[in-house]
Structure formats: structure tokens, C-alpha cells
């Protein structure tokens, strides 16, 4: 069999598009603290650990969200909780609009 030919890929969750403040809020919930700003991005650092920059935009592309979460060491389970919380808030609001979950820094 050829290397990589028709091998099943591991199922990856679909990463929704979030705002920068949504991701910053998730990271703050995981122990990250805002330590500075670089242009339009907030720099967050886990005490004694990694730092990530999160662009403060209304909508991050899913691949950008995935990259930031991977750099920060955030699991897909944490992301699933964020999505569930977002859907719950949307249902309570009775709107199709997505509410902001993040905390503005």
C-alpha cells in the first residue's frame, strides 16, 4: 500500500469562527493573563508558561482560532464547552445572532 493512500483521517472537530474577545475570555478562564498588546492583538500568558497573541477582531477565521488554541494548549473539550455556552446564551436571547462570550480586555 502506498504511504498515505486512503488512510482514514482522524476526525477533527469543526472549529467555528469566534471573535478575538471570545478566545481571550476562554484563555483567561484557563489561567492566562493579559500581559500586553502588540498592535491590534492582546498578548496573554499563562503564569510560568506559554504566551499567545489574540487579534481583537470581530471574527477570526476558524484556522486562526485553531492555531491560537493549539499554541495555548487548550483542548477540544474546552472549546466544546465554549460552543455549548454560546449556544445556550443564544437560545436564551431568542436570537440567531451569536452573543459575545469574551471579556473585553
Pure H helices in 1-105: 20-29, 62-72, 76-93
Are the C-beta atoms of residues 45 and 61 closer than 8 Å to each other?
no
Are the C-beta atoms of residues 46 and 31 closer than 8 Å to each other?
yes
CATH code linked to domain 20-93 = 3.30.920.30
pTM exceeds 0.85 for this model: no
Give, in degrees to the nearest 5, the angle at Cα 102 between 99 and 105.
Answer: 135
Rounded-to-integer distance, Cα 16 and Cα 49, Å? 26
Per-residue pLDDT of the chain (105 residues; tens, 9 = 90+): 444 445 455 566 677 778 999 889 888 888 899 999 988 999 999 988 889 999 999 999 888 988 998 899 888 887 787 778 767 877 887 654 444 444 433
- Domain borders along the chain are 20-93
Amino acid at each position: 500500500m502506498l504511504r498515505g493512500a486512503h488512510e482514514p483521517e482522524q476526525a477533527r472537530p469543526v472549529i467555528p469562527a469566534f471573535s478575538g474577545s471570545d478566545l481571550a475570555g476562554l484563555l483567561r478562564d484557563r489561567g492566562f493573563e493579559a500581559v500586553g498588546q502588540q498592535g491590534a492583538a492582546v498578548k496573554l500568558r499563562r503564569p510560568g508558561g506559554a504566551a499567545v497573541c489574540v487579534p481583537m477582531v470581530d471574527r477570526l477565521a476558524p484556522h486562526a482560532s485553531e492555531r491560537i488554541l493549539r499554541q495555548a494548549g487548550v483542548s477540544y473539550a474546552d472549546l466544546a464547552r465554549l460552543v455549548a455556552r454560546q449556544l445556550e446564551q443564544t437560545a436564551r436571547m431568542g436570537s440567531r445572532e451569536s452573543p459575545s462570550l469574551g471579556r473585553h480586555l
